[in-house]
Amino acid sequence: MTVSTWASKSATVQSAVLVGGAAAALGLRLVIGGAAAGVSPAAALVFAAAFIALAIADGWRPGDIRLRQLAVGTLGGAVLCIPPTITRLAGHGIGAGPWRDYPTWALVVAAVAVAEEVLLRGALYDRLAAGAGNLLAIGIGAILFAALHVPLYGGHAVILDLAVGVWLGALRLATGGVAAPAAAHTVADWAAWWLR
In the region spanning residues 1 to 60, those forming contacts with other proteins, defined by CB under 8 A, are 3, 6-7, 10, 13-14, 17-18, 20-21, 24-25, 27-28, 31-32, 34-35, 38-41, 44, 50, 53-54, 57-59
67 versus 109: smaller Cβ distance to other proteins: 109
- Give how far Cα 51 sits from Cα of 24, 41, 108, 148, 175, Å: 10, 15, 14, 12, 22
**Of residues 156-185, those binding other proteins (CB under 8 A):** 156-157, 159-164, 166-171, 173-174, 185
**Of residues 99-138, those binding other proteins (CB under 8 A):** 105, 108-110, 112-113, 116, 134, 138
Shortest Å distance, C-beta 65 to other proteins? 18
**Residue 149 found at the interface with other proteins (CB under 8 A):** yes
70 versus 185: smaller Cβ distance to other proteins: 185
**In 3D, which of 8, 141, 110, 115 has the Cα closest to residue 56?**
115
